[in-house]
Amino acid sequence: MRIVIAEDNVLLLEGLSLLLTGVGHEVCATVADGDSLLPVLLEHEPDIAVLDVRLPPTYRDEGLRAAVTARETLPDLPVLVLSQYVEHAYAARLLAQGASGVGYLLKERVSRVEEFLQALERVAGGGVAMDPEVISQLMVRRVRDDPLEALSSREREVLSLMAEGHGNAVIAKLLFLAETSVNKHIGNIFVKLGLPATDGSNRRVRAVLTYLNSMDSQNR
């Protein structure tokens, strides 16, 4: 696939480029700041953008804002965001646009090459990939008006793993359940979150978005 990278850390940029080209992908362009990202995306029309949350000049949220702008201009563009720390609001803001093809990983995940490449492929294919540590920290606090309150503890576990981007077979293996049981739990999740069958495959993405947005609101 063709990839654009936005990263100001030269060592990480070079490492990512070597890793991706080494497995057959093409890094068609790189940028070191958020302002340069959109023009490059429009020029190269990559299959996915990989970018740091914090970019020059202020190193605050330039990367995030660039990602949000890119998704508004190119709604079908898959975006994989890398962050040094868990920043709850950033994940929710990017996902709040309601589209698929979004990932949020901690930078340490890049060193786990197989996991990183799987997440990259998942996002490029229109899926959602959330770092397990992000999911864990978003689950710390709960509020009374939580839309997930209707879910059982097992259903929350299943939804958490869905948010990490796992398929039903993997979820079944991780929770030591039959895949039919996982399918039943997911069906219950859709019903309890008010996601009708007419939404088709979008129900899974919408369930994950509901989950992440709810977790973010609890941590504000």
In terms of pTM, does the model score above 0.75?
A: no
202 pLDDT higher than 90: no
215 pLDDT higher than 80: no
Pair (180, 112) in one structural domain: no
Pair (99, 195) in one structural domain: no
> Which range marks the domain in which residue 196 is found?
141-218
Pair (122, 176) in one structural domain: no
Which is more confidently placed, 144 or 84?
84
Pair (130, 159) in one structural domain: no
Pair (63, 10) in one structural domain: yes
Q: Distance between the two ends of the chain, CA-based, in angstroms?
A: 37
Pair (15, 105) in one structural domain: yes
User: What does the pLDDT read at residue 182?
Assistant: 94
For the stretch 133-185, pLDDT in tens is: 766 665 544 444 567 777 888 998 999 999 888 889 999 999 999 999 999 99
For the stretch 17-74, pLDDT in tens is: 999 999 999 999 999 988 898 899 999 999 999 999 888 877 777 887 788 788 888 8
Q: Check if the beta carbon of residue 182 is closer than 8 Å to that of residue 160.
A: no
Pair (132, 148) in one structural domain: no
Tokens of 6: 């936005």
Pair (17, 118) in one structural domain: yes
* Beta-strand pair 2-6/48-52: parallel
Pair (22, 130) in one structural domain: yes
Pair (93, 150) in one structural domain: no
Tell which of 105, 120, 136 closes a domain: 136
C-alpha 220/C-alpha 218 separation (Å) is 6
- State the Rg of the chain over Cα: 17
Pair (36, 118) in one structural domain: yes
Pair (59, 127) in one structural domain: yes
Q: In this structure, what CATH number is given to the domain that contains residue 52?
A: 3.40.50.2300
Average pLDDT of span 119-141: 76
Q: In this structure, what CATH number is given to the domain that contains residue 147?
A: 1.10.10.10
Tell which of 136, 170, 195 closes a domain: 136
Peptide bond into 57 cis (omega under 30): yes
Q: Count how many domains the chain has.
A: 2
Tell which of 115, 136, 157 closes a domain: 136
